[in-house]
Amino acid sequence: MVSPIKRSKQKRASLESAFEGLNISSTPSTHVAAPKGHIGKSLAKMMKSTLRLAHGTLSRSVRGIETKFTIIQDEVYNYKIAHQDFDPDAVFPEMMELESEVQRLLQSTLDPKQQANLEDHILECLTKMVYGSNMIEKAGCGLDITWNLCMMIFRGENVSEDIQERDEEYQKIKAERMKAKLSTSSSAILRSRREIVQHAKAAAYIITQLCLHDQDLSEELILETHRILTYKVDAETAPWTEYSGVYRSVDVSAGFNTFTAPTALPIKMKEMIRQLDSDMSEAIKSGSIDPISLAAKYTHIFVNIHPFLDGNGRMCRLILNSMLLKFGSFIVCLGELGPERSLYLEVASSASQLETTYDGREEEEKPVMYKELASFVLSYAKTSLGKLVNAIAK
């Protein structure tokens, strides 16, 4: 979900000061580099292993134990997305047909061209995921610049931390910002570039840990991912050294919705992880899972806790896609186009308003808050799997 415009009690700092005067001694931790290696190759290998069973059944390591899950449709979907009619009971089976076709293709012997197409398609999806998520937050740069930087990072290539004014990349970013009537100061240009670089590195990190190293989602993993995402990226109200990888210490709100009080954040985050652990125990016991409803649920819970001063929207979408990859072997690229962003923002706002409406009620009195989000993600999952089939079958 989107990271909304927030009101806090801190004094507002200028964005133009980003990347200047960062010799502050209170750096939260040593910077963690993005994992090296071609993540497209690694994820292709993971997908072949995960989907080797066919017939909508996948194999994943959970808590270090190899577990088989049958993908099923939970009863948590909405029949409208914003004001548009949507039929999850028709779309989910269509998605599963595409998932089965992906399984069939991956278990066949791919020729070198098909293998390269699969790996390239994964990198393309990851890049568009970063681009769309940044666009939702009005961060980063256009698709061309995002593409070049993300492709380098996801292939495991080195990307310089900063660039000089004489560099071609600097001039391209400057021209793009000038055309959009945005600030072309050195600090603004470097910030927009770093928002792409750190987002891609954060994506590579959480996906590597959750999907390739079979870790479970944890507070530690979330904090470290946020630390990478916001490395040397100042928030509007604080330098990066004060908020990167740590829970916020001030109240924040969006519209009429006030997010979790700072003193309750550690408790709420631990509750979220315990609830996820309980849901996974039930999934292991039943041998079935709905990756979309699971990912939508914890995306919603996370963003409405809003644990960080900044970066919550991008973090929630990284959680969403890393969980979809882990339990469904697909990625959803949200926010690529303007109308898609508007629809997403409407869905996000509606879910947050529900949280406010039912605040203080007993749990059994509350509706499922993430139903509309689950349907929204389902619609993108079907499209994503269709593109994956086409990429492999070329």
Q: Does residue 163 register a pLDDT over 80?
A: yes
**Strand 253-254 to strand 257-258: parallel, antiparallel, or no bridges (unpaired)?**
antiparallel
Res. 114 pLDDT band, cuts 50 70 90: very high
Quote the CA–CA distance of 326 and 50 in Å, as a whole number. 9
In angstroms, the Cα distances linking 66 to 69, 214, 287, 365 are: 10, 10, 12, 37
CA of 373: how far to CAs of 1, 297, 319, 322, 344, in Å? Answer: 9, 8, 14, 16, 8
The type of residue at 5 is I
Write down the pLDDT at residue 9: 39
Q: Which two tokens stand for residue 249?
A: 């210490």
Distance CA 283, CA 277 (A): 10
167 within some domain? yes
pLDDT > 60? residue 16: no
Neighbours of 241 (CB within 10 A): 18
d(CA 157, CA 170): 19
Q: Which residues contact 160 (CB under 8 A, 6 or more apart)?
A: none
Confidence check: pLDDT of 19 > 80: no
Q: What is the pLDDT of residue 33?
A: 53
8 domain residue, yes or no: no
Domain with residue 265: its CATH number is 1.10.3290.10
Residue among 213, 210, 193, 113 at smallest CA distance from 145: 193
Q: Does any domain span residue 2? A: no
pLDDT tens readout for residues 181-215 = 999 999 999 999 999 999 999 999 999 999 999 99
The greatest distance separating any two alpha carbons of the chain, rounded to the nearest whole angstrom, comes to 61
Residue length of the chain? 394
Residues 6+ apart with CB under 8 A from 343: 81, 82, 84, 376
**The pLDDT value given to residue 34:** 53
pLDDT for the residue numbered 376: 97
Q: What is the pLDDT of residue 15?
A: 30
CB of 350 closer than 8 Å to CB of 340: no
The string of DSSP codes covering 186-209 is HHHHHHHHHHHHHHHHHHHHHHII
**Phi, psi values for residue 302, rounded to 5°:** -60, -50
How far is Cα 302 from Cα 316, in angstroms, rounded to an integer? 6
30 in a structural domain: no
Integer distance in angstroms from the first to the last C-alpha of the chain? 34
Residue-wise pLDDT for 369-389, tens only, equals 999 999 999 999 999 999 999
On the question of pLDDT at 31 being above 60, the answer is: no
Determine what percent of the chain is predicted with pLDDT higher than 90.
Answer: 78
Phi, psi dihedral angles at 80 (to 5 degrees): -140, 145
C-alpha dist (Å) from residue 260 to 10, 264, 304, 361: 17, 7, 8, 15
How far apart CA 324 and CA 377 sit, in angstroms, is 10
Q: Is residue 79 part of a domain?
A: yes
Question: Tens of pLDDT along 252-273?
Answer: 988 777 899 999 999 999 999 9
User: Using CA atoms, how far apart are residues 324 and 126, in angstroms rounded to an integer?
Assistant: 12
Name the residue range of residue 310's domain.
15-20+35-393
Higher per-residue confidence, 10 vs 204: 204
Residue 200 within a domain: yes
Within a 13 Å sphere around the CA of 285, how many CA atoms are in the beta-carbon half? 6
**Considering the domain boundaries, does residue 233 fall inside one?**
yes
Which pLDDT tens digit goes with each residue over 90-105? Answer: 999 999 999 999 999 9
C-alpha torsion sign, points 170, 172, 176, 178: positive
Count of the separate structural domains present in the chain: 1
State pLDDT tens for residues 300-354.
999 999 999 999 999 999 999 999 999 999 999 999 999 999 999 999 889 988 8
Question: From residue 54, how far is each of 25, 254, 283, 391 by CA, in Å?
Answer: 53, 44, 18, 19
Angle, vertex CA 198, rays to CA 234 and CA 120, nearest 5:
155
- Alpha carbons 51 and 73: distance in angstroms, whole number: 18
CA–CA distance, 83 with 169 (Å, rounded to integer)? 41
Least confident of 284-288, 355-359, 382-386: 355-359
| 10 occurs within a structural domain | no
